[in-house]
Structure 1
């Protein structure tokens, strides 16, 4: 499995507010399924970041396009494979 950093810059602030509850449900489901390692918003209000766990970029693209933020046009997305370095104990 690989890690992918997905930036979600705001395109439309009103839609971001409108689709926030659905986006948060989407993230919770992804965490419960082991597809999301971490997520959070940027404190400057520019958007957020989700770290996905997947086999390929194509798998992440397919998943990200299902995020209500992305499918509604509230947010864009930018995907980068992330070679994480940490001393933290990671979930299996």
Structure 2
């Protein structure tokens, strides 16, 4: 399966954003348990972060990220890209 990356920028204040972090973590753990090898994190120097995961296609990747609580609750703007690995 190819890798995909959701690059996100926060669009709400931290108090609102932090309300959805536990649900986002559960969502990522569910992705891991489903075999998507998901990893999530945030930028150390400014607001925003990234979700890296495997999916069968861009269409499946779009379906997956639309279920992310950070997106469902309008906490982030995002870009979705297929990540083509050159060297492993």
TM-score bracket for the superposition, by shorter chain length? 0.7 to 0.9
**Aligned with 2:49: secondary structure?**
strand
Deviation (angstroms), 1:38: 2.3
1:36 & 1:77 partners in 2: Cα distance?
A: 20
Q: CA deviation at 1:67?
A: 0.4
- 2:46 corresponds to: 45
What value does the CA root-mean-square deviation take over the aligned residues?
A: 1.4
Structure 2 gaps of 5+ residues are none
Sort the Cα spacing of 1:15 and 1:36 in 2 relative to 1 into closer, same or farther, 3 A.
farther
Corresponding residue pairs, total: 87
Moved segments of 4+, more than 6 Å: none
Q: How does 1:1-92 map to 2 (within 5 A)?
A: 1-13=1-13, 14-87=15-88
* TM-score normalised per structure 1: 0.84
Structure 1's 55 and 77: CA in aligned 2 closer, same or farther, altered over 3 A?
A: same
Shift of 1:35: 1.3
TM-score, normalising length from structure 2? 0.87
What runs of 5+ residues in structure 1 fail to find an aligned partner? 88-92
